[in-house]
Amino acid sequence: MSKFDELREKYPNFIYDDYILEVKDNELIITYKFVIENLETFKPILKIPLDNIKININDSMLKKIIFNLGMVEVVSYLKCTCSKNVIIKAGFINEEQINFFKKLYYNGLGEFLYLNKIDIDMEDLFDITCEVKEEDCVIPTYEGTGNLIAIGGGKDSCVSLELLKDEHDTNTCFIINPKKVTLDCAKKANYNDNSIIGITRILDKKIISMNEKGFLNGHTPFSAIVAFSSYLTAYIYKKENIVLSNENSANETTVIGTSINHQYSKSIEFENDFREYTNKFFGTNINYFSLLRPLTEFQIGMLFASYKKYHQIFKSCNPGSKKEPWCWCSKCAKCLFVYTILSPFLYKDELIKIFGTDLFEDKELLKIFIELLGYGKTKPFDCVGSYSEVRYAVSLLITKLEGKLPYLLQYYQDNYELELDIDFKTLYEENNNVPNIYQEIIRKELVRCAK
């Protein structure tokens, strides 16, 4: 019997039992209660600063959004046993909502299932039942203003900050668990503490202990946490738009020949599902969209290359994010991808100033390089761009360089054909939810940077 089957048999019931709200020290504090029956109880916490905003913790819509955010927080704890029966006692959801979360859980755990060698279909993975009766929920009169811009510290959110700089006075930055890097990016765009909302998400440490004991572990759809928590924050702060920085490249699957996508909750599919879900079940007219959806990672790199004030600040390295200060490890897939996508515009002195070394000379990165190009079994399980644009970036750089090529570029030239047929500078994905006024700004920036 596999560990997956053994744990599901031993711990069949996962209960979303409750959540508690309190306002203390000018913060909204939310404590969730999740129970794996006969094993463990978890109490993760979310804190949202109120900046002297008066809220009614009995507001039925506020509680509804908070409860739904808990439905996504569930995944971080449910994954350790993959209990078959998910029992909802903290709030009401109907069958249509259950199907939304079944799809989110299944696709958001796609990488987790693949790496743990779990072969199961969506209907068999979890049986979600709700034990709470529906109550009336008053939809308040809601009029929002300005943008709530999610900031992650990487190049993408920096590009969004620049594209929306003319609306600076009504923009607000949104950061989960602020670090120096994320705050520096916001402040470099001239936002101060009064226009930055930093929320605190605290995992229950018992889940880390369970991971160490050998329970199931793996990737969860963090961007879905960003979606629901930013929606809650936008509701409290009365914002009109929630602006993400997920690009068109996030739609490409990670495992060739499957639908498994490390970036599922950054995809247009999830974005559309979330917009439909919130419009139908919350009805506050908060507009959630990704500003960079029309663009590829290559184009974002092209724009970012011209925003030099961020070059010594931004960070995207996941191993490096666990260190203080946040740094580039220069050994992971994310580092090599960002280096590659910026290389046609910044190679090599400017890139070495950012990363500290020429990553194209690192022979240890060859396997990751091949995977980024699409010649491995899978794409690296990280937030990286499409195969075709990586090949294009590499091919374009090779045509620009004279003399001896660095190791990885020489390997490419010796083993593959240059791919320059598609002009990635001029592509534009029309399947997006970006308001027309912002699409005009994006198109103008593309023209400016492509010259």
Residue 139: pLDDT above 80?
no
Q: 205 with 267, same domain? A: yes
Domain end, chosen from 268, 290, 312, is at: 290
Contact 44, 202 (CB under 8 A): yes
Domain end, chosen from 250, 267, 290, is at: 290
Q: 247 with 374, same domain? A: no
Residue 448 within any structural domain of the chain: no
Looking at residue 142, its pLDDT comes to 84
Q: 412 with 345, same domain? A: yes
Residue 38: pLDDT above 90?
yes
C-alpha span between 4 and 112 (Å, rounded): 12
- Range name among 159-173, 320-334, 337-351 with the lowest pLDDT average: 320-334
Regarding beta strands 27-36 and 13-24, do their DSSP bridges make them parallel or antiparallel, or are they unpaired? antiparallel
Looking at residue 451, its pLDDT comes to 77
Closest by CA position to 412, among listed 336, 306, 298, 322: 336
Residue 322: pLDDT above 90?
no
Q: 117 with 261, same domain? A: yes
Return contacts of 26-33, CB within 8 angstroms, 24+ apart.
Answer: 26/50, 26/51, 26/52, 28/55, 28/57, 28/236, 30/66, 30/69, 32/70, 32/73, 32/90, 33/90
Question: Side chain identity at 340, as an amino acid letter?
Answer: T
Structurally, the chain folds into a number of domains equal to 2
Q: 277 with 331, same domain? A: no
Looking at residue 257, its pLDDT comes to 83
Q: 101 with 206, same domain? A: yes
Report CA Rg, the chain: 22
Helix (H, G, I), strand (E, B) or coil at 10: helix
Sorted by sequence, the CB contacts under 8 Å of residue 256 that are 6+ apart come out as 374, 377, 378, 379
Looking at residue 320, its pLDDT comes to 86
Q: What is the mean pLDDT of residues 190-205?
A: 97
Residue 289: pLDDT above 90?
yes
Looking at residue 52, its pLDDT comes to 83
Residue 235 within any structural domain of the chain: yes
Distances in whole angstroms, Cα of residue 381 to Cα of each of 68, 177, 233: 27, 23, 29
Residue 216 within any structural domain of the chain: yes
Q: 118 with 207, same domain? A: yes
Looking at residue 411, its pLDDT comes to 98
Closest by CA position to 83, among listed 4, 191, 173, 157: 4
Looking at residue 136, its pLDDT comes to 76
What are the beta bridge partners of residue 328?
none
Sorted by sequence, the CB contacts under 8 Å of residue 287 that are 6+ apart come out as 240, 241, 242, 433, 435
Residue 138: pLDDT above 80?
no
Looking at residue 441, its pLDDT comes to 97
pTM: predicted TM-score of the whole model, two decimal places: 0.96
Regarding beta strands 147-150 and 172-176, do their DSSP bridges make them parallel or antiparallel, or are they unpaired? parallel
First to last CA, the chain: 60
Residue 438: pLDDT above 90?
yes
Q: 208 with 257, same domain? A: yes
Residue 33: pLDDT above 90?
yes
Residue 113 within any structural domain of the chain: yes
Looking at residue 23, its pLDDT comes to 96
Residue 449 within any structural domain of the chain: no
Task: Read off the pLDDT of residues 48-105 as tens digits, 9 standing for 90 and up.
Answer: 999 889 999 999 999 999 999 999 999 999 999 999 999 999 999 999 999 999 999 9
C-alpha span between 439 and 291 (Å, rounded): 8
Residue 435 within any structural domain of the chain: no
Q: 382 with 281, same domain? A: no
Higher pLDDT, 322 or 339: 339
Closest by CA position to 244, among listed 173, 145, 345: 173
Helix (H, G, I), strand (E, B) or coil at 225: helix
Q: 304 with 404, same domain? A: yes
Rounded to the nearest integer, the mean pLDDT of the chain is: 95
C-alpha span between 281 and 431 (Å, rounded): 24
Q: 361 with 336, same domain? A: yes
Task: Read off the pLDDT of residues 95-133 as tens digits, 9 standing for 90 and up.
Answer: 999 999 999 999 999 999 999 999 999 999 999 999 999
Task: Read off the pLDDT of residues 302-321 as tens digits, 9 standing for 90 and up.
Answer: 999 999 999 999 999 999 88
Tokens of 147: 């943008």
Q: What percent of the chain has pLDDT over 90?
A: 90
Residue 163 within any structural domain of the chain: no
Residue span of the structural domain in which 223 resides: 3-152+173-290
Residue 343 within any structural domain of the chain: yes
With cut-offs at 50, 70 and 90, classify the pLDDT of residue 386.
Answer: very high
Q: 256 with 122, same domain? A: yes
C-alpha span between 286 and 166 (Å, rounded): 21
Sorted by sequence, the CB contacts under 8 Å of residue 139 that are 6+ apart come out as 61, 282, 283, 284
